Amino acid sequence: MSRSANPRASRGAAALGGPSSVVETACPLDCPDACTLAVTVDRGKVVEIDGSHKNPVTDGFICAKVRKFGERVYGADRILYPGVRQGRKGDGAFKRVGWDEALALVADRFTRAKADAGGASILPFSYGGSNGLLTQDNLDAQLWRRFGTSRLARTVCAAPTGAANQGLYGKMASVTYQDYPHARLIVLWGVNPSASGIHLVPFVRDAQKRGARLVVVDPRSTPHTHAADLHLAIRPGTDVALALAVHRYLFTLGHADGRFLREHTRGADQLRERAEPWTIAKAAEVCGLEEADVERFAALYAQSSPALVRCGWGLERNRNGGSAAAAVLALPAVGGKFGVRGGGYSMSNSSVWNIDRTWIGAEEPQTRLVNMNHLGRALTEYNDPPVKVLFVYNCNPAVTVPDQRRVLRGLEREDLFTVAFEQVMTDTARYADVVLPATTFLEGYDFAKAYGPIHLELARPVVDAVGEARPNADVFGDLCARLGLLVGDEPAGELDLMVRVLDALPGTIGDKLRAGELPSPPFGTSPIQFVDVFPNTPDRKVDLFPAALESEATIGLYRFQPDPATAAYPLALISPSSDRTISSTLGELPRTDVTLLMHPDDAGERGLSAGDLVRVFNDLGEVHCTLAVAAAIRPGTISLPKGLWRRSTRNGFTGTALVPDALTDLGGGACFNDARVQVASLAMA
Ligand SMILES: Nc1nc2c(c(=O)[nH]1)N[C@H]1C(S)=C(S)[C@@H](COP(=O)(O)OP(=O)(O)OC[C@H]3O[C@@H](n4cnc5c(=O)[nH]c(N)nc54)[C@H](O)[C@@H]3O)O[C@H]1N2
Ligand SMILES: Nc1nc2c(c(=O)[nH]1)N[C@H]1C(S)=C(S)[C@@H](COP(=O)(O)OP(=O)(O)OC[C@H]3O[C@@H](n4cnc5c(=O)[nH]c(N)nc54)[C@H](O)[C@@H]3O)O[C@H]1N2
Ligand code: SF4
Ligand SMILES: [Mo]
């Protein structure tokens, strides 16, 4: 019997039973805001989820999607018990079994696969389903490392922006939401906080009320573009050209900050050289913008201080994404925008805590590294060894990674043993041989880490686990025990692990979390760049031309790869975050917003009108859905929401069916927005 196979003891506020009470916890989903939540619990059930006032950034409000999270917790799609497949892969029919039987089967398959084809024939597959410190890179990592499975490069998101930020600044802490009101110019570059991080919105508005100018760089209209002084509706994948044109403007017109460049940077000459070809006129042409608008933007940036660039993730999801992020992040160094509150750059702050995951009780072995964007290839082509066992958790790759058709073909393989450890019956879980029910964040502990503001918070269970769901740490601890991989009295479950993490966190962070506070790093919640924080590069300087990036980048750093459009597939399909889901999480709930957005010119050319049923297609796949026509997107670009479930479209394929599994120029990221497609009426097909 394993150390933690017993059903979980009743715990948390739910154990109190009785009349309704409000319990505080935190939202650990993959959203920059990490809200503090006030959850009303009545007779052991969640009845309302709202924002708490304890956290000044949350400020008493949360997004509509997490307000509805109770519908997921108690919904029809929730997985309540472990199950073993009945019928064909993809049917989603399972026979209920006990935890003991399910985990014994999984452990047996692991052992057999390792004996037959080596540990690398097992592929663990995960991303940021719950983004906290307990649900990933923990006992899961310990299991994979000690068992010697393949390793996973977690590159589906933030790989190019992360590589650029690491290369230029060593991932220095960036400007947090709280300091936006100090800015005189805010540039929202490839980011749409009105959907993807709503707590930034009031700070941007506040800045505008105080007179700040707002520039938005986005091929679509968003609530921010309506309020902007300048909307640059850029052609997707061309941001590197725009950013380099601004650099060239700064250098050639005497707006570059020579003193800052001398004292705090390296590589300015090489950057300047790469920017040289990008005149305003050339950039405008490549980016599909008016010359006058590009020039106005460059002049505004040159003249404003504090000037703040928020570098989002929309600009990274293409062949030029790494160079684009690097060129955007280099702007404040060249323009001399650091050193003042509200000036500099703002992006993911997820790695500024300096938290060493000492709680992973094993070194990483140098086993095969699989890029998660190549899952389809790995399942259908890799042979040395082939993937025999796939263990999916915190992730829904049947709909979220590139080349959906190939991924599904791989998942259909009869000789593949797939485990899905999931909260709900996702499109991926339907292909599993064994499903294991996971708790949601309302049923377990986690550490929610904000990456827009900077704070940590302990998420606590507010209700008992639904059905027989168990938290990640319990299940990975159990598997470690079954496979003889626990050493001494190492934690084998969530509670022990939580205590170990609390003890291992640097300084007084653990004590503050225990006391229910929201600790921040030593430099506080709103650092000024180059006053409170400096680059974490070896010489503490900004590296404007990192050698490592120059040699990694597909055709060199700050260089432009042309659009992949062809005559057959001329339209650029983008798939931005929507306010209905977090990636595909909550995508199971009924929705009416699943339409393909197209500009009236493109619709007219194709004889299409709003409400038509259309097929969006290329050589990789095809999606059938309803058309929406509006000038809210630039001509030549069309948009489908990110994170759709297969049930949301007419033919069971989603945007990722049209996405090539090509990798970004830096970081091995996904090129979601390099999908080039054609659209036609379904009636005419
Ligand atoms: N509601 C909600 N919130 C979320 C998420 C969600 O799915 N839903 N996802 C979370 C996650 S995992 C992430 S990574 C973040 C992402 O959040 P964001 O950084 O906002 O990224 P996206 O939503 O991918 O795209 C942002 C904007 O970029 C635009 N865009 C697309 N291509 C380009 C381009 O080539 N250049 C430029 N300049 N703009 C482009 C899109 O039209 C979109 O408006 O949000 C997090 N928050
Ligand atoms: N077309 C297109 N696709 C995209 C993008 C795009 O721009 N366009 N963006 C991409 C981005 S930014 C990202 S980050 C990825 C994200 O893609 P995924 O990592 O697949 O994220 P989710 O779709 O949210 O799926 C997470 C799953 O983890 C489960 N889960 C949550 N918490 C736990 C837990 O504690 N334990 C276990 N066992 N399971 C848990 C949830 O139920 C959910 O089904 O999607 C990418 N997909
Ligand atoms: S998803 Fe984001 S905005 Fe919504 S509750 Fe969670 S942290 Fe807050
Ligand atoms: Mo993401």
661-672 pLDDT, tens digit per residue, is 999 999 999 999
Q: Domain span at residue 637?
A: 571-684
Q: What is the pLDDT of residues 166-175, one digit of tens each?
A: 999 999 999 9
If asked whether residues 483 and 395 sit together in one domain, one would say: yes
> Biggest alpha carbon distance in the chain?
73
Does residue 188 line the site of ligand 3, with CB under 6 A? no
End-to-end CA distance of the chain: give it in Å, rounded.
Answer: 58
Ligand sitting nearest the alpha carbon of 580: 1
Domain tally, the chain:
3
Q: What is the pLDDT of residues 5-38, one digit of tens each?
A: 333 333 444 444 567 999 999 999 999 999 999 9
Are the beta carbons of 327 and 238 closer than 8 angstroms? no
Kindly give the number of the ligand 1 atom that is closest to the alpha carbon of 65: 1
Question: Average pLDDT of 300-304?
Answer: 98
Q: What is the pLDDT of residues 334-371, one digit of tens each?
A: 999 999 999 999 999 998 988 889 899 899 999 999 99
The reply to whether 546 falls in a domain is: yes
Kindly give the number of the ligand 1 atom that is closest to the alpha carbon of 580: 1
For residue 354, what pLDDT is reported?
Answer: 84
Does residue 672 line the site of ligand 2, with CB under 6 A? yes
If asked whether residues 106 and 165 sit together in one domain, one would say: no
If asked whether residues 647 and 678 sit together in one domain, one would say: yes
The reply to whether 356 falls in a domain is: no
If asked whether residues 291 and 378 sit together in one domain, one would say: no
CATH number of the structural domain spanning residue 630: 2.40.40.20
If asked whether residues 274 and 378 sit together in one domain, one would say: no
If asked whether residues 195 and 329 sit together in one domain, one would say: yes
Q: Give the residue from 511, 509, 528, 529 showing the smallest Cα distance to 519.
A: 509
Please check the confidence at residue 456 and state whether its pLDDT lies above 50: yes
CATH number of the structural domain spanning residue 302: 3.40.228.10
Q: For residue 585, how far is its CA from the centre of ligand 2 (angstroms)?
A: 6
Question: Average pLDDT of 490-519?
Answer: 94
If asked whether residues 539 and 416 sit together in one domain, one would say: no
Does residue 39 line the site of ligand 3, with CB under 6 A? no
Q: Whose alpha carbon is nearest atom 23 of ligand 2?
A: 584
Q: Encoding tokens for residue 263?
A: 């004292």
The reply to whether 260 falls in a domain is: yes
How far apart are the C-alpha atoms of 663 and 494, rounded to whole Å? 36
Determine the length of the chain: 685
CA of residue 459 relative to chain centroid, distance: 20
Does residue 582 line the site of ligand 2, with CB under 6 A? yes
Does residue 422 line the site of ligand 2, with CB under 6 A? yes
Does residue 127 line the site of ligand 2, with CB under 6 A? yes
Kindly give the number of the ligand 2 atom that is closest to the alpha carbon of 313: 12
Please check the confidence at residue 649 and state whether its pLDDT lies above 50: yes
Are the beta carbons of 166 and 160 closer than 8 angstroms? no
The reply to whether 304 falls in a domain is: yes
Q: Give the residue from 490, 389, 485, 506 showing the smallest Cα distance to 112.
A: 389
The reply to whether 566 falls in a domain is: no
Q: Whose alpha carbon is nearest atom 36 of ligand 1?
A: 315
Ligand sitting nearest the alpha carbon of 188: 1
- With bands split at pLDDT 50, 70 and 90, how would you rate the model's confidence at 583? very high
CATH number of the structural domain spanning residue 377: 3.40.50.740
CA Rg value for the chain: 25
The reply to whether 76 falls in a domain is: yes
How far apart are the C-alpha atoms of 184 and 211, rounded to whole Å? 7
Does residue 38 line the site of ligand 3, with CB under 6 A? no
How far apart are the C-alpha atoms of 21 and 549, rounded to whole Å? 53
Ligand sitting nearest the alpha carbon of 440: 2
Does residue 572 line the site of ligand 3, with CB under 6 A? no
If asked whether residues 386 and 490 sit together in one domain, one would say: yes
DSSP 11: -
Q: What is the pLDDT of residues 226-283, one digit of tens each?
A: 999 999 999 999 999 999 999 999 999 999 999 999 999 999 999 999 999 999 999 9
If asked whether residues 290 and 169 sit together in one domain, one would say: yes
Q: For residue 344, how far is its CA from the centre of ligand 2 (angstroms)?
A: 30
Are the beta carbons of 340 and 306 closer than 8 angstroms? yes
If asked whether residues 113 and 224 sit together in one domain, one would say: no
If asked whether residues 585 and 538 sit together in one domain, one would say: no
Ligand sitting nearest the alpha carbon of 156: 2
- Of 517, 552, 587, which residue sits at a domain end? 552
For residue 44, what pLDDT is reported?
Answer: 96
Burial of 540 (0-12, 13-18, 19+ CB in 10 A): exposed
DSSP 438: B
Kindly give the number of the ligand 1 atom that is closest to the alpha carbon of 579: 1
The reply to whether 126 falls in a domain is: yes
How far apart are the C-alpha atoms of 43 and 113, rounded to whole Å? 46
If asked whether residues 117 and 175 sit together in one domain, one would say: no
- With bands split at pLDDT 50, 70 and 90, how would you rate the model's confidence at 685? low
- Choosing from 232, 577, 638 the residue with most ligand 1 atoms within 8 A of its CB, the one to mutate for a pocket test is 577
Q: Encoding tokens for residue 138?
A: 């923990």
Ligand sitting nearest the alpha carbon of 394: 2
The reply to whether 516 falls in a domain is: no
